Amino acid sequence: MRRKPGRRVHAVTRVALVTGAARGIGAATVRALIAQGWEVLAVDRAKDDPALPYPLGTESELSTVATHTFVADVRDPGALAAAVAEAESRWGGLDAAIAAAGVIAGGVPTWEVTPEQEQAVLDVNLGGVLNLARVAVPALLRRPEPRSGRFLAVASAAATRGLPMLAAYCAAKAGVTGLVRALAAELGDTGVTANAVSPGSTDTPILAESARLYDLAGPADFAAQQPVRRLLAPAEVADVLAFLAGRGSSGMTGAVVPVDGGMAL
Ligand SMILES: NC(=O)c1ccc[n+]([C@@H]2O[C@H](COP(=O)([O-])OP(=O)(O)OC[C@H]3O[C@@H](n4cnc5c(N)ncnc54)[C@H](O)[C@@H]3O)[C@@H](O)[C@H]2O)c1
């Protein structure tokens, strides 16, 4: 069928890149997007971090999440640039970049955290989002107008709450919300938006590590701090990210959406 002159058709398949995709919220987001017909490049470090005492996602976990995977550390802008290039060359462009990679450390007073752990928390949780923006936003802007590009980041309820023994994590996540607001203001009328979600306690390995840092019996102990009185499932956060990635969120930019079972109330 011939297209009417001057009318544009949307590309049928949208393309996303998700970091932190081997497990948890990132993996659930990849699955939600694929279920909605997206092409997704699933990116993860897929290897433990020597600075951190708990295991990260693995290559075998990453390979079960998606057909198209890419091993990259979000602290490495060159590796992220190569991931974006891979998505663009494979599928012809990029419509959504989702920064879900994150790590946690602390459990002792701020001034006693080792510099290596503090650096890892800041560099992955905030630096990693900045690095993704640096390489992915230009790709989102390379799509022809009218655009519906989406830059999304996973912040945390920790962005607005003072959580003892997790100061670097709180600082990094507050930084992510500031970044998303500034990016949204910069992107203006380009058709590319920037938003974040702030999850509450969600049942993933990072929460198990948080429980260990707080000497709790297990992650279930965090359920009491959110009004819904249960942990969230990663899919509940992923569903909101998938909505934000879609064209239906076009009226939102610079938003930080709580997905926290009411924890921030
Ligand atoms: N689970 C929660 O309760 C909760 C609450 C608020 C915010 N968050 C945030 O949600 C995001 C996802 O965390 P999750 O709960 O799924 O935890 P998770 O530990 O299950 O998943 C994190 C993933 O990020 C990957 N990763 C870590 N460092 C990386 C790096 N340098 N480069 C690339 N990938 C790296 C890990 O390998 C892992 O697959 C994080 O940003 C986290 O801070 C989680």
Distance 192 CA to ligand 1 centre (A): 25
pLDDT of residue 61: 98
d(CA 160, CA 258): 11
Q: Which residues contact 12 (CB under 8 A, 6 or more apart)?
A: none
Q: Catalytic: 169?
A: yes
pLDDT of residue 45: 98
Residue 6 has pLDDT above 60, yes or no: no
Q: Determine which of 9-18, 78-87, 219-228 has the lowest per-residue pLDDT on average.
A: 9-18
- Length of the chain measured in residues: 265
Question: How do beta strands 15-19 and 150-154 pair?
Answer: unpaired
Residue ranges in 42-127 assigned as alpha helix (H): 59-65, 77-91, 115-122
Percent of the chain at pLDDT exceeding 90: 95
pLDDT of residue 3: 43
Asked if residue 54 lies in contact with residue 209, where contact means CB atoms within 8 angstroms, the answer is yes
Mean pLDDT of 234-257: 98
How many other CB atoms are there within 10 angstroms of residue 86's CB atom? Answer: 16
Residue, of 136 and 11, whose pLDDT is higher: 136
In this predicted model, what pLDDT tens digit does every residue of 104-147 receive, in sequence order?
999 999 999 999 999 999 999 999 999 999 999 999 999 999 99
- Residue 56 in contact with ligand 1 by CB distance below 6 A: yes
Give the CATH H-level superfamily of domain 15-259: NAD(P)-binding Rossmann-like Domain (3.40.50.720)
pLDDT of residue 116: 98
Q: Which residues contact 150 (CB under 8 A, 6 or more apart)?
A: 95, 96, 97, 98, 140, 192, 193, 194, 195, 244, 245, 246, 249
In this predicted model, what pLDDT tens digit does every residue of 184-200 receive, in sequence order?
999 999 999 999 999 99
Residue 5 has pLDDT above 60, yes or no: no
Average pLDDT value for the chain:
95
d(CA 228, CA 168): 27
Asked if residue 155 lies in contact with residue 200, where contact means CB atoms within 8 angstroms, the answer is no
End-to-end CA distance of the chain, in Å? 53
pLDDT of residue 142: 98
Probe ligand 1: pick from 135, 160, 204, max atoms within 8 Å of CB?
Answer: 204
Using pLDDT thresholds of 50, 70 and 90, give the confidence band for residue 242: very high
Q: Partners of 257 in the beta sheet?
A: 197
In this predicted model, what pLDDT tens digit does every residue of 159-178 receive, in sequence order?
999 999 999 999 999 999 99
Q: Which amino acid is at 191?
A: G
| Catalytic one of 70, 151, 169, 222 | 169
Distances (CA, A) of 175 to 47, 169, 248: 25, 10, 26
Distance 5 CA to ligand 1 centre (A): 46
Query: 133: buried, middle or exposed (CB in 10 Å: 19+, 13-18, 0-12)?
Result: buried
Nearest-CA residue for ligand 1 atom 25 is: 20
In this predicted model, what pLDDT tens digit does every residue of 74-97 receive, in sequence order?
999 999 999 999 999 999 999 999
Ligand 1 atom closest to the Cα of residue 231 is 3
Residue 249 has pLDDT above 80, yes or no: yes
Residue 10 has pLDDT above 70, yes or no: no
**Helix (H), strand (E) counts: the chain:** 8, 7
Residue 1 has pLDDT above 60, yes or no: no
Using pLDDT thresholds of 50, 70 and 90, give the confidence band for residue 9: very low
Probe ligand 1: pick from 17, 19, 25, max atoms within 8 Å of CB?
Answer: 25
**Domains of the chain by residue range:** 15-259
